[in-house]
Amino acid sequence: MNTVDRLLEITSRIEHLENAAEWIARETVNTDSAMSQTGTLICVIAEDLREKVCGLVRQMEEILDLGGVN
């Protein structure tokens, strides 16, 4: 498994986590506010994690484009 495949797998897992959390938040909004808020928090964390992974990939691409690490 190469790096691109690993990144795709990570992205897929983050997306699955976010979708499940959105479903939990939506389904529990009227019955369990704590559960719903937890689902919303997980969505926010998943999005933040996705942004950080993308940022790391961009940094790695820049390093490779420059020909090495500073």
Residue 70 falls within a domain, yes or no? no
Is residue 46 domain-resident? yes
Could you give the number of structural domains in the chain?
A: 1
Q: Which residue has the higher pLDDT, 66 or 28?
A: 28
42 within a domain of the structure (yes/no): yes
Mean pLDDT for the chain overall: 91
Question: Is 8 part of a structural domain of the chain?
Answer: yes
- What is the domain extent for residue 42? 3-64
Residue 50 lies inside a defined structural domain of this protein: yes
The structure's pTM equals: 0.80
Give the integer Cα–Cα distance in Å for 19 and 13. Answer: 10
- 69 within a domain of the structure (yes/no): no
- The mean pLDDT value for 1-27 works out to 92
pLDDT tens digits, 16-30: 999 999 999 999 999
Question: Has residue 25 been placed in a domain?
Answer: yes
Lowest mean pLDDT among 27-31, 35-39, 63-67: 63-67
Alpha helices for 1-70 (secondary structure H): 3-28, 33-66
